[in-house]
Amino acid sequence: MYGNTAHNIYAQNNIGVESPTKLIEMLYEGVLRFNAQAKKAIKDNNTEKKVYWTNRSVAIITELVNTLDMTQGQVSEYLQGLYSYEIQLLGSASLDNSSDKIDEVSNVFKGLLEAWRESTNVAQ
């Protein structure tokens, strides 16, 4: 449910996306943006917006899980576990109003984004 929503949102807003490589980068960036908004909502004590932005991040991460090519072995298995953990952490952050947990998820995605950019720039 969430996965298709995330993909559709990005597909609608970025019709000119040139490659799946760029789409992954955009999804990682989306998680970071939505986490920042969720963190702000926690600070502002705005439960409705906190849930909204947390759900947007979860939708993107779910899409990332759904698009993994599990025939690629250990890397895909690792990412599946990592993404699943990050989804759980976001749920916990929302329940606990924990900016620290959102920061933890954001730090993981910053690292993934940096690694993705480095690996795709080398490959091109």
pLDDT digits (tens, 9 = 90+) for 77-116: 999 999 999 999 999 999 999 999 999 999 999 999 999 9
Query: What ranges do the domains of the chain cover?
Result: 2-8+19-123
Cα 119 to Cα 87: distance, rounded to the nearest angstrom: 24
H helices of 1-124, in order, are 2-13, 20-43, 47-66, 74-96, 99-123
Instruction: Please give the model's pTM, rounded to 2 decimal places.
Output: 0.83
CATH of domain 2-8+19-123: 1.20.120.340
- Tens of pLDDT, residue by residue over 39-61, are 999 999 999 999 999 999 999 99
**Residue 17 burial by CB count (10 A; 0-12/13-18/19+): exposed, middle or buried?**
middle
What token pair was written down for 105?
Answer: 């998820």
